[in-house]
A and B are shown apart, each in its own frame.
Chain A
Amino acid sequence: MVGGLLLMACGSTGRNHGAVSGGGTNAGGAAGIAGDGDNSECPTAAEVAPAALVRLTFGELGASLRQLLGEQAAAPIVEELEADGTNHAFPPLSAESEGPVIDERRLQTSDLLAERSAAYVREHFRDVTKCEPDYECVTAFVADLAQRAFRRALQDDELSALEHVVAEAEALGAPPEQGAEYGVYAVLASPHFLYRTELGPPAAASQTGEVRLSDDELASALSFFLTGAPPDEPLRAAATAHDLGSSDQLAAHVERLLASPKARRHLQRALGNYLGFPRLETIAVDTATYPEWNAALGLAMQHELDMLLQGTLWSGPLSGVLTSRSATINAPLASLYGVAFPPPGATLDELGFADVELPEGRAGLLTRAGLLTARTSRPAAAVPERGLWVASSIACDVVPAFPGAAPTQAPGTNPSERAKAEFRMATSPCLDCHAAFDPYGLALDELDAIGRFRASDAQGLPIDVSVTLPPTPRGPGTRVSGSRGLSTALADDFFATCMTQRFLEYARLYTAQDAAGERCQVRRLLAASNKPGEVSFSDVLTSVVLSHAFATRRR
């Protein structure tokens, strides 16, 4: 480990909570989209994202192939081209391998995906098309596939363009199997498959100002948001029948989809990506200082975090993520946590894990070994690193970028982390930024780089974890002690507001210019249909879908 000097300094850019009023209540929401168009309680109107052409990620294309051609056809292609949606970005389109634009590199992958799928259709012609080798049947098959692939009905001229590709194959003397192959290839290479639109209905093409997404667009947006896959049959049917106009209708689909394991896995993975769970088994940890660290322990930590999310997201309030003492651990983790294992009467699963109730000090995400290991890339700078992460990811503070000023040394010989932090928080120009997040890091300083409790630091100095948290829009910061106190303080409706804000950004791939204003809108949204302290993850997601911002774009 590298010990020593304070390595961060800060400019006087200040923080940005913005002027935010209280949550209030709203009796709306039962009929029509939730009435947050009334801006009397927030200083700014709800910010609407611009109309857009949204590229499907490779994972979404893979999921689409599974729906169109079946698992047996899609699985090898998806695996070969790594289109399985396991990139760790939040949202996935922000991953380096993805991006909003189909350039030459991404065209290579999407083109091969289309070509491989088309080759499968040729090789399994009868099974897939249900046709005899007959061009009339092939043409009908391609038209039907296009409608399912484009997630809407086709216009006549769109259909003609596709039929022309198939007709050309016939004219060149290609057998019907090859005609089907190139028809399918055209469908899957089409921009109508590779993108989804957020433009509003065709009739709105010449409008400016706010437009509501068409029913087909709304169905796609909702489905890809909640499941990472195209709309299923009930949702497509509702779109076709124009049955997505009311909050009740949308809420029913949300409830239906959130009950599915597929959606839960997708959304749990999304939250894990947001929280920045890397592949813990690949993290480099100094084994001279932490000899118990190895890849297997990293994997165990990963599993524990996954199970924590699984156990808290779908039952009880969202705050359970920060307060739950339930854990799924194995023997090495138990040793790290200092608990007996296996607990009396417990049954180990096939991986050697069992469900336990951790001691009071290990409540919630911020006290779990995996999270702390992931958030401690440099143990010598753990306080600001962890603090910054809590501020931006849990409290949704807007923290200015590091200005790159020269480092400043705290006074004294080998100052403690506390002394360094207090120096930063009291010294200009550092204090403007560090006062906003160092307290979070100090509260967590009782947990070392792999999440073990410690009473003293590497120099043998006692660790003081009593801090006054930064002020929030709700008022001055509270006094807390340690990781448990921090978790309790953060696990209020502000956390739910923060998650709603993030998932609204995720759903519409847009970050509001006025973050504080959007947070006000989000708080009103949650308060409209939820009691304080009882907001669940499902409530968060439902609120996102029912919001004006989700279903509306600006042309």
Chain B
Amino acid sequence: MRYILCADFGSTYTKLTAIDMQDLRTLGTSAAYTTVQTNILDGYANALDKLEKDIGRLDYDKRLAASSAAGGLKMIAVGLVPRLTSNAAKLAASSAGAKLIATYSYDLSDAELAEIFDYKPDMILLSGGIDGGNKDVILNNAEKIARIECSFPVVVAGNKSAADEVARILESGGKEAVITENVMPELNKLNIESAKAAIRELFIRRIIDAKGLAEANAMMSLEIIPTPLAVFNACEALSDFGTLTAVDVGGATTDVYSMADGLPENSAVIEKGLREPFAKRSIEGDLGVRYSIDSLIKEAGIERIAAASGASPEDVIEHSRKCAQDTSAVFPPGSTDAKIDNALAGECVRISMNRHAGRLETVYTNMGEVQIQTGKDLTKTKYLFGTGGSVINSDAPEDIMAKALYSKADYDILKPENPKIIIDRNNILTAMGLLTRVDKKSALSIMKKELMNKEDM
């Protein structure tokens, strides 16, 4: 095996990366507009033309692809209690590479059902009740979901004692139901691998076709996977070098990945709530520098962005108007708009990391001070990776990523204290994640050479 071609069908660009498996290096990359309206392969052909102009025509032994085109894998997670099975369902869908658009708890209301109808999800993950626990809510929700007039498949990952009936109810409403293991079989015990596998299988069998990717899929050596899953796989492989967090800032969402057990650094700390998985992904649908710019500015505060960029609040408003008009807008380095873009990306990083990392709370008891940890302690993670257009194309990517670090202002949030910051400058993370599917060792060697400086290892 000499050459491998990796494709990433993005929402805006189709990106190609050519890899030399003998010399263990990337040979070149190219990008062209994604052509989801006509034929996705038009954009692919355009990108390939560009690549060939750069590195010449090569005989590829394998072609691999990921896709987030046509909205990505749009999923909704449904559970019972927000902090318990709803959260478990959310973690399962996220780690499968879904674009999670909503999470619901308890009995679904008519308003929520109308929302689900409007979202037109590609798939729903339905959980609720630990094994042998509550059955009523998942059964009721199955009845309600069965009546929604959309044809999406449902992954049933709740109380095993209710699973068969839940599947029957869904099927009677014309929905395909796939039963998997409960995402939370025992209280506060997470079990997401089975649900993750079912999501992947459904993506291959039903979603690729529905997204107009069938023809592209037929050209590939392995089935197309969701782009975030490729990044997830790359991060999982990179954890061979040490614990890490990674932030992917996009136009619509910001994704955070952490590869660390996240257990308390201090043995006197009491853990509370769900113990999160070693490999965790979270996705923030309200944080993005283009499509989600309005919700981002609302969350961060216009004054904060103005202060960080040295621009006036009016400039920020003007910038958001420009970005909303042209979601593929790129601004010249050093311009006010570019500075605002940097500040916006920094806020995506800061807020998404605040939501992803665990918290440490000090409680005063008559036995003295006690510290309680919920979520993952990421303070000692060794590496912090930055990727996504607005990070890697910025003139100050390290400054943007520094917003992910532990800060005294958020003293109770267990964010990385002193990681080595690494920027995915050549945008190889997705391609490397794809490569891990055929040859993890080579992918690691290439990442070691091209992403990380050897002396830091």
Q: Do A and B come from one complex?
A: no
Q: Please list the residues of chain A having a beta carbon within 8 angstroms of any beta carbon in chain B.
A: none
Residues of B within 8 A of A (CB): none
